[in-house]
Chain A
Amino acid sequence: MLVDTDGAAVLAGGQTLINVLKLNLAAPTALVDIHRLPELRIIKPAEDGALVIGAAATYAQVAADPIVSSAQPSVAAMAAGLVDRQVRNRGTIGGNCCLNDPTNNFPPLLAALDARFRIAGPAGERVLDAADFFTGTMSTALTPDEILIAIEIPPLPGNARIAHRHLQIGADSWAVARAAVRLDIDAGIVTSARLVAGAVQNSPVRLHDIETTLTGRTADASLPLAALEAFDDTRIVTVDDVHCSAAYRKQMCKIQVRRALEEILAQGSRS
């Protein structure tokens, strides 16, 4: 139906799309409701050990699933804290990613976790990584006749540490700035770093220069300071909006990076 109907749109949890329709910001000719398709709500481990989360799995489902909590606790924790009780029962992890609102929670975290995005369309399936899936503010690589069917998160090595920090307008509400960080630390040395900024333009944005700066360094109190210095040299495009100026947002993003790194240092290694 999505292929045969010009201007059709996919409806999953509807927690954004229905508001968009009310405001006449979109006028699809047909809605293809996928929210009750069981194969899109499945949560399971894949053969290669990755965690597969169906795109139409709700936040409540992701938060409560023991497989998610044990394989990717940061994903479960994020789902548990989203918006409010009602929206968590309806909003989906796939919808959160496909919308790619810069303030959305999941895109930066999933990018930091090397998540892969499995897409189905008339030509079959394809799998993209975060850098290719998220193409810009409110946009993804999905074509109109494709749907996201699952998000696959590779297993974490035992030395991986993850932190996500954000500054929000209110509890569980819109973010002004986000940072998602994953560091792999071996014998006190950072062997691999992923830093992703959220709530900035074209987010999620990998902060490659800071990653390079941190890789190979000793994981001690000097780490956040090195990141702050590298942050000042990084070009991050932010915008003014009703909540704050672009300069404030960039400064807050920097602080979230620092706090995420401090949190990682405070964590023991996962084991």
Chain B
Amino acid sequence: MKLPPPSPPTAPLRPDLSAIADLVEAGWRVLDLGCGDGALLEFLRDHKAVRGRGIELSEKGMLACVHRGLSVRQGNLQEGLADYPDQSFDAVILSQTLPFLDDPAMVLNEMLRVGRTAIVSFSNWGHWRCRLELLFTGRIPIAVDLPQQWHESPRRQLFSVTDFARFCRQIDIRIDRQIYMNHGIRIRTGRFKNLLSTTAVFTLHRGN
């Protein structure tokens, strides 16, 4: 009957979300796809005066978002994205969700239809530990930042930073700003991005 207790003092953002937040400019209109408990949208609202919207599938996540005072719709990404008019956001965010998508090209294209910029973060299976794991144990590697066994649901498809870059070229999407992280810490990678990073955060734009 009574309202739930107020949310605890803001916990630090997950490292990839904090990197995403750095790529968002003050006052932007932002759509967060699969926004979970709304931690990123709340941070962007409170620190960057962002006008945010979210789409989230789980009731638990939805209730947490509403409790944070966010504007969030329940639904899956596909049906959610389709409703938005063209270019209605400055940025559309997809964090740690790419490996779970049935049709990543459709989602990325939709993100760039609805938003001027797309921001994605994903775990990199090209990291040297993953390579060694396959080589020495013969087992399919577990991504460092996505510790989930192959049989656990939701099922996901493995890919690396290099795979993603090639894929973006194929579907005429340009990768602009790039942040690479290793175990949550931002790193300078030089030529060895794919070898050294456990998670990558990119801004994407329509090619040309």
Do chains A and B interact in one complex? Answer: no
